Chain A
Amino acid sequence: PDALCERDKVKFTVHTKTTLSSFQKPDFSVPRQHEDFIWLHDALVETEDYAGLIIPPAPPKPDFESPRDKMHKLGEGEATMTKEEYTKMKQELEAEYLAVFKKTVQVHEVFLQRLSSHPVLSKDRNFQIFLEYDQDLSVRRKNAKEMFGGFFKNMVKSADEVLISGIKEVDDFFEQEKTFLLDYYSKIKDSTAKAEKMTRSHKNIADDYIHISATLNSLCAEDSTPNKKDLWKLNLAFFIHLQKVEGRVASDQELKLTELLRYYMRDIQAAKDLLYRRARALVDYENSNKALDKARLKSKDIPQAEEHQRQSLQKFDKLSESAKKELTSFKGRRVVAFRKNLIEMAELEIKHAKVSSVLFSLCVSLAVCS
């Protein structure tokens, strides 16, 4: 199956093409909102059966706050800037808006794609409903109580995690994975933050170039001496281009590098959650063992305890097996994604730099001749 997202205001259009017989039609699309995605994700997480799987992380809420703020500030500062400068800045902001939007769509799309490519999750009933159901899902948003409940659950979970992390791990593979993932998570979180800062600096510089080119423009317009005018015009052209390039570099960098890091940060969180669930199951199993022993001692309720123990063991084994599979595939996936994005980023940087250097050499030769 194939999922395609198109945007319409804050709604998404999920367009599916499929060859599976479980769906009614081979080709259909439904409108969805961000909250629907979240609902789907939560539903999957809460399903017991999927405890052994890494649920792809939910896409983050589309963040149009930052460009909206800037637009507002721009409107306020309109009086101080020349008309050209204002139009330029507005264009720049619109481009940023577009970039944020593209990013959001991409993230949501990736979520759905991962679900659909997963052998088990793609058969999930909820997922199918999500793709097919014609009308608005009208997902009841979590009211305050549920929110609070969710928050509380999270806290319990993290406390639990700490407790569980002390459990002796039976399997070396998982022990390794755990250490690795924990370490990697903290590092990647750090890198993401730093990458974000770097991208922001790039954007600032691009903005500066807009201002410079605007000032040069007005200088140029007023200056009467012909030779200086040419020089300023030259400068102007150069800075305008520079700004475009710089801005593009910044957004590319953001998309490839920062987003990559961000996404994998969340993915690793999901992997950690898997490990947690497994550890939980292990604890359950051990507890049931203890209960069985106690029962045997007391010679009471033995069959129940045995049943319980067998069940938890089964659960634990199944969980471990699928966890192993998932983690290995996760590793492979991660490597591939990094590779792709790094290559693309490098290629883009080279392209931009080449274009810039051509322009600069042109400018230099023009300046020398004039």
Chain B
Amino acid sequence: MASSADRNPPPFPASEEPEPELSDMADGDSDEGEDIFVSNSHPASVSRGVCQPEEPADLFNEEATAAQPNGVHSDDDDLFAEAQADLSSDPSADSPRKDLSCPSGPPLARSPAALQPTSLEQLEEEEEAKDSFDVDVAVTNPEKVGDGMNAYVAYKVSTRTSLPMFKSKAFTARRRFSDFLGLYEKLSAKQSLHGCIIPPPPEKSVVGMTKVKVGMDDPSSVEFVEKRRAALERYLQRIVSHPLLLQDPDVREFLERDDLPRAVNTQALSGAGFLKMITKASDAVSKMTIKMNESDTWFEDKFQEVDMEEQQLRKLHAVVDSLVNHRKELCMNTAVFAKSMAMLGNSEDNTALSRALSQLAEVEDKMEQLHQEQAGSDFFVFAELLADYIRLLGAVRGCFDQRVRAWQRWQEAQSTLQKKREAEAKLLWANKPDKLQQAKEEIGEWEAKVTQYERDFDRIGMTVRKEVLRFEKEKAKDFKSQIIKYLEAMLQSQQRLIKFWEAFLPEAKAIA
């Protein structure tokens, strides 16, 4: 997994950098200083630990606390307990440490000799840890803040993490929708140049927001807020599961800082908004005019695939939408029917039949609830999944576009270089030595640029490839888990249906 390989270097240099300082400190400092840093420094700790029996106690203290940032959540206490046990059983520092490093494998290798094998273990452990979430993000508690047209909904973004680069392990921040959009803007400005796939946020909806602002408490606006909250949560989860994006300081800032500067350029009617629209239009035009000669068929095939898939998903989404609507209709009709049945049961004079009819009304009522839940499941699990992936596929296409743009830049640089060379040739022929010097400098400059752009292009190509593969894997996983969820929900509803009708049957049979 290339992505996790990228991830490993950061903790390592972090732990390695203190080492040179440590070796300085270890020589002449107080015991406290050693204790604090000794967990990070491998060679130093060995020498320390061997000659000072009291230190191991503190050493293991530090180890226990230092174990946490390295990706092992629940093992902390176990580690400490084990450390204690090992300490009591074996006073020598070396073997307990080795025992420690084996069970949990965090980067607490003690001896330099043991460094290499454990670092490999570490790599594997960290890889596994990366598969599960190191960062857990949740978006909860939508609350309306303010009044009138300036009102907005603030969401609580809570993060739980074990990564060292965050200041603490769990923190929350209040964010509003434009903050999320602002994050997206910043990320796409920076990262898309490298060819990453940036998950797009949910769309702005003027109608929905106006309803919420005005304060209408009807179910549709509640639903709207819920839909948005779920979408924002999925958006953040996708961002943090992307290894490169997680590194980005903007993301960290978004999650950590108490107060973000208001991202005004996400407003629809602002100057920045207009600028965006113009750039989008010009991009579209340039895409149409310049045709890239694709040397790599992989990209072309992939692009076609992505296109077709997006179309199909769109169609599917439309149909699922109508399914959701019809189910909601069924809900309403069933409720109305249940009421009417109840009234009929009331006016029926045969008592057994009357009871049976009212029972039927109750069953239908329960069915209505069932259908309601089913509709919810249809929507939140299935339809939203499709909508998300339609947008994500759009992002993938954006990725491909970036690559095309990189190619364009390269080509342009090449043509400029060509022109410069021609100019140089002309000057040579016209024999103007001073201008010639300048021309030669320019040529050198442009040659450098050409090589740079070519390298950029290749790099983007590779990143895009990687990203697309990763995306596909994620997509397969996502779809599978969502579909399983959906199927399970349907299964449950069918079983409950059985129960309801089975309860009704004896009543019906009891009609004299």
Interface residues of B in 270-317 (CB under 8 A from A): 305, 308-309, 312-313, 315-316
Separation of A238 and B490 alpha carbons in the complex (Å): 11
Residues of B within 8 A of A356 (CB): 490, 494
Identify which of B330, B347, B476, B501 contacts A205 (C-beta below 8 A).
B330
Q: Which of A3-11, A91-99, A357-365 contacts B (4 or more CB under 8 A)?
A: A357-365
Say if the beta carbon of B319 comes within 8 Å of chain A: yes
Say if the beta carbon of B353 comes within 8 Å of chain A: yes
Q: Which of B43-51, B165-173, B419-427, B480-488 contacts A (4 or more CB under 8 A)?
A: B480-488
Separation of A363 and B484 alpha carbons in the complex (Å): 8
Do A218 and B312 touch (CB < 8 A)? yes
A164 to chain B, nearest CB (A): 22
B339 to chain A, nearest CB (A): 8
Residues of A within 8 A of B501 (CB): 346, 349-350, 353
Residues of A within 8 A of B308 (CB): 222
Say if the beta carbon of B340 comes within 8 Å of chain A: yes
Separation of A204 and B375 alpha carbons in the complex (Å): 14
Q: Which of A102-110, A187-195, A310-318 contacts B (4 or more CB under 8 A)?
A: A187-195
Q: Which of B9-17, B30-38, B105-113, B321-329 contacts A (4 or more CB under 8 A)?
A: B321-329
**Nearest residue in A to B331 (C-beta to C-beta)?**
A201
Q: Which of A54-62, A123-131, A208-216 contacts B (4 or more CB under 8 A)?
A: A208-216
Chain A interface residue number, banded: 35 or more
Say if the beta carbon of A338 comes within 8 Å of chain B: yes
B341 to chain A, nearest CB (A): 6
Say if the beta carbon of B495 comes within 8 Å of chain A: yes
Identify which of B334, B347, B498, B511 contacts A187 (C-beta below 8 A).
B347
Separation of A295 and B393 alpha carbons in the complex (Å): 97
Separation of A338 and B507 alpha carbons in the complex (Å): 12
With A198-B334, A222-B308, A367-B487 as contacts: A353 and B508 at CB distance below 8 Å: no
Residues of B within 8 A of A180 (CB): 347, 349
Do A338 and B353 touch (CB < 8 A)? yes
Separation of A227 and B480 alpha carbons in the complex (Å): 10
Residues of B within 8 A of A205 (CB): 323, 326-327, 330
Separation of A361 and B492 alpha carbons in the complex (Å): 9
Residues of B within 8 A of A190 (CB): 340, 343-344
Say if the beta carbon of B99 comes within 8 Å of chain A: no
Say if the beta carbon of B57 comes within 8 Å of chain A: no
Identify which of A200, A227, A238, A349 contacts B487 (C-beta below 8 A).
A238
Do B494 and A215 touch (CB < 8 A)? no
Separation of A131 and B494 alpha carbons in the complex (Å): 48
Identify which of A225, A228, A338, A370 contacts B356 (C-beta below 8 A).
A338
A123 to chain B, nearest CB (A): 31
Say if the beta carbon of A136 comes within 8 Å of chain B: no
Interface residues of A in 342-357 (CB under 8 A from B): 342-343, 346-347, 349-350, 353-354, 356-357
Do B497 and A353 touch (CB < 8 A)? yes
**Nearest residue in B to A342 (C-beta to C-beta)?**
B508
Say if the beta carbon of B472 comes within 8 Å of chain A: yes
Do B312 and A357 touch (CB < 8 A)? no
Interface residues of B in 457-512 (CB under 8 A from A): 472, 476, 479-480, 483-484, 487-488, 490-491, 494-495, 497-498, 501-502, 504-505, 508-509, 511-512
Separation of A222 and B98 alpha carbons in the complex (Å): 54
Do A194 and B337 touch (CB < 8 A)? yes
B412 to chain A, nearest CB (A): 35
Do B319 and A360 touch (CB < 8 A)? no
Say if the beta carbon of B348 comes within 8 Å of chain A: yes
**Nearest residue in A to B323 (C-beta to C-beta)?**
A208
Identify which of B337, B483, B511 contacts A197 (C-beta below 8 A).
B337
Do B344 and A194 touch (CB < 8 A)? no
With A225-B472, A349-B497, A353-B494 as contacts: A191 and B340 at CB distance below 8 Å: yes
Do B353 and A339 touch (CB < 8 A)? yes
Identify which of B319, B360, B476 contacts A208 (C-beta below 8 A).
B319
B368 to chain A, nearest CB (A): 10
Do B480 and A357 touch (CB < 8 A)? no
Say if the beta carbon of A20 comes within 8 Å of chain B: no
Do A219 and B312 touch (CB < 8 A)? yes
Interface residues of A in 216-267 (CB under 8 A from B): 216, 218-219, 222-225, 227-228, 231, 235, 238, 242
Residues of B within 8 A of A335 (CB): 350, 352-353, 511-512
Residues of A within 8 A of B340 (CB): 187, 190-191, 194
Residues of B within 8 A of A198 (CB): 330, 333-334, 337
* Sample (15) of A-B pairs whose CB atoms are under 8 Å apart: A184-B347, A184-B348, A187-B344, A195-B337, A197-B336, A201-B329, A201-B330, A208-B323, A212-B323, A215-B319, A339-B511, A357-B494, A357-B495, A360-B487, A367-B484
List 8 tightest A-B contacts by C-beta distance, closest first.
A201-B330, A360-B491, A194-B337, A339-B511, A357-B494, A342-B508, A208-B323, A204-B326
- Residues of A participating in the B interface, judged by any CB pair closer than 8 Å: 180, 183-184, 187-188, 190-191, 194-195, 197-198, 200-202, 204-205, 208-209, 211-212, 215-216, 218-219, 222-225, 227-228, 231, 235, 238, 242, 331, 335, 338-339, 342-343, 346-347, 349-350, 353-354, 356-357, 360-361, 363-364, 367-368, 370
Other A-B contacts than A215-B319, A224-B305, A339-B508, 7 sampled, CB-CB below 8 A, are A191-B343, A195-B337, A215-B315, A335-B512, A346-B504, A360-B487, A367-B483
